[in-house]
């Protein structure tokens, strides 16, 4: 399979290593120094694109791939207010679009555990829930896409929580997410339920970016011959 890498930073390079190990070819490597090479990608030279860039460039990148009917896997976060627009374009063309806030298999299992715990805690209002996420200093958006997914899972199960906020809060209707940026941290996410008598904590700690990269390549393999809008739940049940 011929894979174009849109975004060739640390994550892009690890994705390349795993893709080559799995027998794929790299049809293009697009970064900030050769952005115009994006326009050279088409269905004749590329089977699928993997997009890991920045919020300011992701929408243009996705629109180009979808208009060219190149299936595209996206892991960029911080742009999700435009996601419905991209999904509508994908359906209209038609093409294939796969998005995940986190491609790690472990994190996606953690998402399910988080929702299950929130469902159990819904009848115990004496527990106050809060979140923390820690990432490397190069990560620009906060909170992380993974933290937002976790927060949305909690909000769906706790009726008294109406929204998340990226700060400490005394408002009982708000879910606090504290974001920290430290050197060399691939990603740590913690959810804590605290009462006056005890505390329940679940935590996911990534030790490297390889889990994210492998998941992205698996997603590319999954979506390359499909049409539609997909996510990790589709890949995991495949």
Active-site positions? 135, 139
Sheet strands side by side (includes 163-165): 163-165, 174-181, 128-135, 187-194, 199-206
For residues 135 and 115, what is the distance between their CA atoms, to the nearest angstrom?
22
Neighbours of 10 (CB within 10 A): 14
DSSP 209: S
Contacts of 165 (CB under 8 A, 6+ apart): 171, 174, 175, 176, 177
For residues 165 and 203, what is the distance between their CA atoms, to the nearest angstrom?
19
């Amino acid at each position: 399979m011929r894979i174009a890498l849109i975004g060739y930073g640390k994550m892009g390079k690890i994705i390349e290593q795993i893709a080559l190990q799995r027998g794929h070819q790299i049809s293009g490597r697009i970064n900030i120094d050769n952005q115009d090479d994006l326009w050279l990608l088409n269905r004749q030279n590329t089977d699928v694109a993997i997009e890991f860039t920045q919020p300011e460039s992701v929408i243009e990148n996705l629109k180009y791939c979808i208009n060219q009917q190149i299936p595209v896997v996206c892991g960029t976060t911080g742009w999700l207010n435009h996601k419905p627009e991209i999904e509508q374009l994908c359906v209209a063309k038609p093409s294939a679009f796969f998005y995940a806030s986190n491609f790690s298999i472990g994190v996606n299992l953690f998402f399910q555990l988080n929702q299950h715990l929130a469902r159990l805690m819904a009848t115990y209002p004496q527990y106050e829930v809060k979140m923390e996420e820690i990432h490397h200093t190069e990560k620009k958006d906060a909170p992380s896409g993974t933290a937002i997914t976790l927060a949305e899972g909690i909000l769906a199960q706790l009726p008294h929580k109406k929204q998340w906020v990226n700060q400490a809060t005394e408002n009982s209707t708000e879910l606090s997410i504290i974001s920290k940026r430290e050197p060399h941290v691939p990603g740590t996410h913690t959810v804590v339920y605290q009462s006056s008598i005890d505390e329940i904590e679940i935590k996911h700690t990534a030790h490297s970016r390889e889990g994210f990269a492998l998941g992205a390549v698996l997603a590319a393999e999954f979506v390359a011959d499909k049409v539609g809008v997909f996510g990790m739940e589709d890949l995991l049940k495949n």
